[in-house]
Amino acid sequence: MSLAGKKAIRYILALFLIASLNFAIPRLLPGDPLTNLLGEDVILTEGSAQELRLKMGLDQPWSYQYLEYWRSLMRLDLGYSFHLHRPVSGLISDRMKWTLLLAVPPLITGSILGTILGALAGWRRSCRSQKVQTALFLAIYCTPPYLLSLIVLYLFAFQLGLFPMKGFYSTGSIQDIVHHLFLPALMMTLFTLSRNYMIMRGSVLQEKSSLYAAFARAKGLYDKEILFRHVFRNALLPIITLLALDFGFILSGALFIEIVFSMNGMGSLIYDALLSRDYPVLQGSFLIITIMVVSANLLADLLYSRLDPRVRWQ
Q: Evaluate whether 92 touches 269 at the Cβ level (below 8 Å).
A: yes
Q: Which of 212, 299, 302, 303 binds other proteins (CB under 8 A)?
A: 212
Compute the distance between CA of residue 299 and CA of residue 145 in angstroms, rounded to an integer.
25
**Residue with smaller CB distance to other proteins, 105 or 202:** 202
Q: Evaluate whether 314 touches 3 at the Cβ level (below 8 Å).
A: yes
Q: HSE-up of 194 (CA within 13 Å, CB side)?
A: 22
Supply the minimum distance, in Å, between the C-beta of residue 274 and other proteins: 6
Could you tell me how many residues of this chain bind other proteins (CB under 8 A)?
Answer: 90
Residue 249, amino acid: F
**Residue with smaller CB distance to other proteins, 130 or 177:** 130
Supply the minimum distance, in Å, between the C-beta of residue 130 and other proteins: 6
**Residue with smaller CB distance to other proteins, 20 or 170:** 20
Q: Which of 3, 274, 299, 303 binds other proteins (CB under 8 A)?
A: 274
**Residue with smaller CB distance to other proteins, 177 or 271:** 271
> Does 160 engage in binding with other proteins (CB under 8 A)?
no
> Does 90 engage in binding with other proteins (CB under 8 A)?
no
Supply the minimum distance, in Å, between the C-beta of residue 57 and other proteins: 20
**Which are the contacts of 158, defined by CB distance < 8 A and separation ≥ 6?**
165
> Does 251 engage in binding with other proteins (CB under 8 A)?
yes
> Does 218 engage in binding with other proteins (CB under 8 A)?
yes
Supply the minimum distance, in Å, between the C-beta of residue 71 and other proteins: 22
Question: Taking CB under 8 A as the rule, which mask of x and - marks residues 166-195 in contact with other proteins?
Answer: ------------------------------
> Does 73 engage in binding with other proteins (CB under 8 A)?
no
Question: Taking CB under 8 A as the rule, which mask of x and - marks residues 252-271 in contact with other proteins?
Answer: x--xx--x----------xx
> Does 88 engage in binding with other proteins (CB under 8 A)?
no
Compute the distance between CA of residue 83 and CA of residue 79 in angstroms, rounded to an integer.
12
Compute the distance between CA of residue 287 and CA of residue 284 in angstroms, rounded to an integer.
5
Hey, which residues between 21 and 60 contact other proteins (CB under 8 A)? 25-26, 29-31, 36
Hey, which residues between 103 and 122 contact other proteins (CB under 8 A)? none
Q: Evaluate whether 73 touches 234 at the Cβ level (below 8 Å).
A: no
Supply the minimum distance, in Å, between the C-beta of residue 292 and other proteins: 9
Compute the distance between CA of residue 176 and CA of residue 161 in angstroms, rounded to an integer.
15
> Does 89 engage in binding with other proteins (CB under 8 A)?
no
> Does 143 engage in binding with other proteins (CB under 8 A)?
yes
Compute the distance between CA of residue 113 and CA of residue 119 in angstroms, rounded to an integer.
10
Compute the distance between CA of residue 272 and CA of residue 280 in angstroms, rounded to an integer.
12
Torsion angle, alpha carbons of 94, 100, 101, 102, to 10: 110
Q: Evaluate whether 295 touches 8 at the Cβ level (below 8 Å).
A: no
> Does 126 engage in binding with other proteins (CB under 8 A)?
yes
Q: Evaluate whether 78 touches 88 at the Cβ level (below 8 Å).
A: yes
> Does 306 engage in binding with other proteins (CB under 8 A)?
no
Can you say whether the dihedral through the CA atoms of 299, 300, 301, 307 is positive or negative? Answer: positive
Most distant CA atoms of the chain, gap in Å: 84
